[in-house]
Amino acid sequence: MSDAGPTSNVDPMNDVSPVNDVGPAADVGRWFSTAAPVADPSGRRGAPRLPAWGPMESSDYGLQSPPSELDAARDLLRGRPVAVLTGAGMSTGSGLPDYRGRDAVPRSPMTYQEFMGHDLARRRYWARSTVGWEQFNRARPGHAHQRLATLGRTLFTTTAVITQNVDGLHQAAGSSPVLDLHGRLDRVRCQSCDTLSSRAALHARMLSMNPELAARLPDLAADAAQAPDGDAEVDRTSSFRYPPCPLCGGILKPDVVFFGESARPEVVAAAFAALEQAQALLVLGSSLTVQSGLRFVRAAGRQHKTVVILNDGPTRADPDATMRLHGRLEDVLERWDALS
């Protein structure tokens, strides 16, 4: 992926201090939740709603694989080129809630078509993310990110960390190379001229356009963190103002893949190339519910590569794994690190 264009010379993501020093991060998933039903002033009905996401029904949460299985999986990976696929479970230790874990909050995701086709959907998204942005931007790499970066130097050779997360925490922890399969939340992309710009700069602009919200930002952020539905008061901010692209007047959208939208083909191609170069695929913290991640497990199977899946809870690819491990990512990766 290309760089995010003109940004500040100070990158807060370079700070790898433990996340507990700054408190829990924002629940980014709620920024992408749809409102139901939405009708814009022109009288059009809202876009079709997707089924609500939430915890998968299973008794597999909280299981722990025995040490002998953890050590056998480590030996399968030792000294080999490995492609790593990560999901939301990787960042729960950084305070970022997941989508399918045992404690996930059910939500109906906003689609690309809804965001692009409805002004009220865009107001809803930008109002929510403006309230949560500074909180989210304080998230720092957790122990799982840090351990993985170390293991990529000591236990195996990483052909790429292919992440479905949009938080940039793998890069901040020192993993390399990292492929942001679903984009980066700290960037904004114009949907007309394709220009990338800084989310931090847009945040400052939207605060200046919405002074009443800016004045109440700390209180709104606290309410959003405590309310059962995350940010009920923010949802009533239908008057929230957001700017167009300063270059062409087009619609600005976070540079992440929405539901109903495809990942950028050059990133997908790079991810498949990294898998081709690897002898094994290691999946960490992903339920593999969506095809975007599952396809790499299926491709690894067709190529007769070793597939190790570590996740707390069920995954859609459990039958496809060479070894299926259960447990907390931090604990398992720490064990591998200590024994590598």
Return the ∠ at Cα 114 (arms to 113 and 115), rounded to 5°. Answer: 95
The architecture in CATH of the region 63-96+141-182+262-340 reads 3-Layer(aba) Sandwich (3.40)
Q: What pLDDT is attached to residue 2?
A: 32
pLDDT at 58 over 90: no
Q: Averaged over 16-34, what is the pLDDT? A: 63
Q: Where are the domains of the chain?
A: 63-96+141-182+262-340, 103-138+185-256
State the Cα–Cα distance between residues 88 and 187, nearest whole angstrom: 19
Report pLDDT digits (tens) over 295-329.
999 999 999 999 999 999 899 999 999 999 999 99
Q: What pLDDT is attached to residue 101?
A: 52
State the Cα–Cα distance between residues 310 and 284, nearest whole angstrom: 5
Using CB atoms within 10 Å of the CB of residue 6, give its burial: 0 to 12 exposed, 13 to 18 middle, 19+ buried. exposed
Q: CB neighbours (10 Å) of residue 195?
A: 15
Report pLDDT digits (tens) over 231-281.
445 656 678 999 999 999 999 999 999 989 999 999 999 999 999 999 999
Q: What pLDDT is attached to residue 333?
A: 98
Quote the pTM value.
0.84
Q: Averaged over 84-102, what is the pLDDT? A: 83
pLDDT at 41 over 70: no
Q: CB neighbours (10 Å) of residue 166?
A: 22
User: What's the token pair of residue 4?
Assistant: 């995010």
Q: Catalytic residue, from 145, 182, 203, 326: name it.
A: 182
Q: What pLDDT is attached to residue 236?
A: 61
154 closest CA partner among 78, 268, 240, 55: 78
94 closest CA partner among 32, 187, 184, 27: 27
Question: Which SS3 state, helix, strand or coil, does residue 256 take?
Answer: strand
Tell me, yes or no, if 203 is annotated catalytic: no
State the Cα–Cα distance between residues 88 and 152, nearest whole angstrom: 19
Return the ∠ at Cα 201 (arms to 195 and 205), rounded to 5°. Answer: 105
Q: Averaged over 58-75, what is the pLDDT? A: 89
Between 129-138, 145-154, 219-228, the lowest mean confidence (pLDDT) is in: 219-228
Mean residue pLDDT across the chain: 84
Q: How far is CA 100 from the centre of its chain?
A: 12
- pLDDT-derived band at 148 (thresholds 50, 70, 90) equals very high
